[in-house]
Amino acid sequence: MTGGASPSRVVPAALPGMTPVPSRHRHLPPESHLPQLQQALLAWFAAHQRPLPWRVSYSPYEVWISEVMLQQTQMERGVSYFTRWMKRFPDVATLAAASEEEVLRLWEGLGYYSRARHVLAAARQIMDRHGGVFPAALEDIRALPGVGPYTAGAIASIAFGEKLPCVDANVERVVARVFDLDTPVRQEPAASAVRAWALRLVPEGKAREHNQAMMELGALVCGKKPRCAVCPLAAFCISLHLGIVDQRPVPGKRAPITPIEVVTGVLRRKDKIFVQKRLPSGVWGNLWEFPGGRVEPGESPDAAVVREFEEETGFAATVDSKYGIIRHGYTTYKITLHCFALSLADGDPEDTPAPPTLTAASAWRWATPRELEALAMPAAHRKLADQIFAAARRLPGA
Ligand code: SF4
């Protein structure tokens, strides 16, 4: 990290495209002008914050759910999931009484399904250990399943007003720019510097507003393309005054993206489709899917789907046709999913097949389109199910 503006640095009054900073404000070093910086930020937040549903009552339950949902999710999408969720689970008790199946179904599309399972487990813990009242003590919040330092800080500060920082990607970016952190923000020493500044910046008694203001500023003004001309922190921002905003935050090393080829098979019998429930562990634990797996080196997708289907269910199948390819990107890997229509290799298609022998799942069923609607599935499999039924609906007489 570098310190404040050194006397040797040339501080421009304005950069191309920005409103000139009034000379009386010409670079106020943020370290020595914290109260002014805090005030400017709070005033901006009061005037420009978005009206979000959890900003009405600030109940701990709503703050918690919104924070968990918004990790890795766009705001608009998060709001629509949040609204739907609150209609069905308006409080901790309703959530705690729900089935995992239903919770996963309402979470479907947000990804990171372990979060949904943790949210359910935490709701049950709140019922068992805290009489259904969301705990206010930081150590009790941290003890809830799936609640890490970020979420605990967010709940404790936004719902209960505790003087704690919330450091998300928006806050990292704002701090790195305002304080000119010159090493990658997710690595030391900058990571500690970000946390230290984020805490030092919180004004007494204003943790709720301040932490949200920092995140909101990062989302609305100090984004990837910062709008310094309208920024309430322009007078304090070292990177702006040094003309190096485009170099902050310093990017860290990106993990390489691994391409993965997988196959899946849709076995139909009359109006029903075979689906299985994944084992509880893993990214898509307990979600329903069409059986399948990875294509081995040198193997064709057609051969892979027949092999995988038999390995996972014991059903010998043949490929009827290919539905197509679904591509899906994750943080560190990119999936190409080859989707096939299958038939049983032996026997009359009208007969009821023998039960499967599951090796990669905990349950199975032959589901109608309507039943499939109620099951939680990974995004790519839901997309495939929707495609199949949309195509079926377009057939004459369907
Ligand atoms: S002045 Fe620009 S770079 Fe600095 S905090 Fe504001 S938007 Fe971000």
Model confidence pLDDT, tens digit, residues 95-124: 999 999 999 999 998 988 899 999 999 999
pLDDT beyond 50 at 10? no
Condensed to tens digits (0 to 9), the pLDDT of residues 63-98 reads 999 999 998 888 999 999 999 999 999 999 999 999
Q: What pLDDT is recorded for position 244?
A: 95
Q: What mean pLDDT do residues 2-8 have?
A: 35
- 174 alpha carbon – ligand 1 mean position (Å): 7
CATH number at residue 145: 1.10.340.30
Ligand 1 near 239 CB (within 6 A): yes
Q: Which domain holds residue 388?
A: 258-394
Residue 12: CB partners within 8 Å, gap ≥ 6?
241, 243
Contact in structure between 49 and 55 (CB atoms under 8 Å): yes
* Predicted confidence band of residue 19 (pLDDT cuts 50, 70, 90): very low
Do 159 and 285 fall within a single domain? no
Q: Does 317 lie in the same domain as 188?
A: no
Q: Which of 31, 62, 67, 296 is catalytic?
A: 67
- Ligand 1 contacts CB of residue 207 (under 6 A): no
Alpha-carbon gap, residue 38 to 165, rounded angstroms: 14
What are the tokens at 218?
């990062």
Reply yes or no on whether the pLDDT at 16 is more than 60.
no
Bridge partners (DSSP) of residue 254 are none
Of the three residues 247, 273, 294, the one that is the final residue of a domain is 247
Instruction: Note whether 136 and 268 are same-domain residues.
Output: no
How high is the pLDDT of residue 363? Answer: 95
CA-based torsion, 129, 132, 133, 136: positive or negative:
positive
Beta bridge partners of 367: 273
pLDDT value of residue 350: 66
Same-domain check for residues 58 and 134: yes
| Active-site residue, 67 included | yes
Angle of CA points 204, 208, 214, to nearest 5°: 95
Residue 228 beta carbon below 6 angstroms from any ligand 1 atom: yes
Do 137 and 163 fall into the same domain? yes
Residues 65 and 195 in one domain: yes
pLDDT in tens, 238-272: 999 999 999 999 998 888 899 999 999 999 888 88
What is the average pLDDT across 184-191? 93
Report whether pLDDT(392) > 80: no
Query: 28 CA to middle of ligand 1, Å?
Result: 14
For residue 307, pLDDT over 70 is answered with yes
240 CA from centroid of ligand 1 (Å): 6
Residue 158: both structure tokens together: 């936004």
Binned at pLDDT 50, 70 and 90, residue 151 comes out as very high
| Tokens 């069923």, located at residue | 365
Residues 162 and 271 in one domain: no
Determine the residue of 245, 246, 248, 250 to mutate for testing ligand 1's pocket, defined as the one with the most ligand atoms within 8 A of the Cβ atom: 245
Give residue 222 CA to ligand 1 midpoint distance, Å.
5
pLDDT computed for residue 393 by the predictor:
57
Question: Between the CA of residue 116 and those of 108, 113, 294, what are the distances in Å?
Answer: 9, 5, 26
- Could you please report the per-residue DSSP string of 285-300? TT-EE--EEEPPTT--
Measured between alpha carbons, how far is 35 from 336 in angstroms, rounded to an integer? 52
What is the model's pLDDT at position 349?
A: 63
Task: Provide the token pair at 152.
Answer: 């605990």
Q: 160 with 220, same domain?
A: yes
Position 301 scores a pLDDT of 96
- 222 has pLDDT over 60: yes
